[in-house]
Amino acid sequence: MANPRDKSSLDRLAGLSYLNPAAPEPWASFVEQIERVRPHLGELERWIETLKHPKRALIVDVPIERDDGTVAHYEGYRVQHSLSRGPGKGGVRFHPDVTLNEVMALAGWMTIKNAAVGLPFGGAKGGIRVDPASVSKGELQRITRRYTSEIGIVIGPDKDIPAPDVGTNAMTMAVMMDTFSMNRGGTATGVVTGKPIALGGSLGRQEATGRGVYITAREAGRHLQLPIEGARVVVQGFGNVGGIGARLFHEAGARVIAIADHTATLVNEAGIDIPAALEHTAAHGGLAGFAGAAPIDIEDFWRLQCEFLVPAALEGQLTVDRAAGVRARVVVEGANGPTTPAADDVLRERGILVVPDVLANAGGVTVSYFEWVQDFSSFFWTEDEINDRLERIMVGAFGAIWKIAEEKRVSLRTAAFIIACHRVLEARAERGLYP
């Protein structure tokens, strides 16, 4: 069995500063996005380096005893990019390709995302380099508990609040909450969000990210006079974000013509039966074998003619080469960092509107904020109340970002970064430096 620590970040980073803008993706993409905002910061420019230096990066060893009695070591991370506006907030990712570089970038995007929609949080992110499918249920629980214990020194309801991400779910959060609570000696429901309802989770949380993607796509269509009804939609990623987003598009009368996940890439120009595809995925663990659409090459997938293209898988999917072939009117980023800065430029030059991740997928963290508030007050809202509040925040944020983009003649991404960076750096400047 291969040692999961063979690709140690400590070894990879020897002699290479992880703060170097020339470092590998995706941190380099985040730094470049920050640099593009520099001309718009005015007096706050003196604080811009704050955004290019994570406040805290923790690497932890996660040893467990496997079911066969052997001891395995996994590498885990928790990065707090900024705490200027409030406690850190961001998910925990379990994936075999997780790296410190990736987690830093994701934490940075969380800082921007939270500020762009006006949430009182800083940005954070965590992860473990592990394939959840390669370990048993008991081993995964032990990994989660040990990881939570190791990062327990930096998380807490008023310090840093994890949530689910790729490879994790509500049950992961239940185990994290229980572990933190046992170590503290009292139940702390607010230490994580995305929990099961029975443990203080919020109604509407599971659908929130996909719902936010749909809301921002609808608002983009409204500004472009491009109605959702009858629109062709292509969705990469068919999990909690892409699958729910696809369902909402389908329910609104759109024609979802192509879907993709890690098992299959499928197309049906007449429109895919999304509820049937979701049932198939739930039953079989992926889209492979779904009879309601035909296989298509992944590169041809990106070139399909459509009104809305939704990359909702992992970062770095829309490269320059793929962007040159995109035939969508609007790209709505359901994933974090799916478009490289160079590809972003190609899309803009070709007149393709990009609704950036820091706005499009902010629905999840917005309802996580609602969950955190409800846990503190021990007063819970109805699902209709949750969805109404989410709608108001997402529509308001979209409108503000659209206005800045028009006024300054910049992309929606740069406009979102302008708003967010002003909020974060103003808080940094007002707080000053200690000591």
Residues serving a catalytic function are 125
CB 129 within 8 A of CB 99: yes
Spatial neighbors of 66 by CB under 8 A, at least 6 apart, are 72, 135, 139
Alpha-carbon distance of 151 to 148, in angstroms, equals 5
Are 90 and 72 in contact, with CB atoms under 8 Å apart?
no
The rounded distance, in Å, linking the Cα atoms of 328 and 353 is 9
> Which residues make beta-bridge pairs with 125?
79
Element (H, E) at 267: strand 265-267
Instruction: Render 44-94 in DSSP notation, one character per residue.
Output: GGGGGGGGGS-SEEEEEEEEEE-TTS-EEEEEEEEEEEE-TTSSEEEEEEE
CA distances from 37 to 115, 276, 415, 419 (A): 15, 44, 8, 10
Residue 95 has φ and ψ, to the nearest 5°, of -155, 145
- Strand order, beta sheet including 88-95: 56-65, 71-82, 123-129, 88-95, 160-164
Place of tokens 């925040």: 393
Beta strands 327-332 and 353-355: pairing type?
Answer: parallel
- Other C-beta atoms lying within 10 Å of the C-beta of residue 132: 19
Q: How far apart are CA 271 and CA 249, in angstroms?
A: 11
To 5 degrees, how large is the angle CA 252–CA 386–CA 415? 75
CA angle (33, 84, 29) in 5-degree steps: 15
Q: What DSSP string runs through 150-172?
A: HHTTT-BTTTEEEEE-TT--HHH
Beta pairing, strands 305-311 & 56-65: unpaired
**Cα within 13 Å of Cα(50), Cβ side:** 25
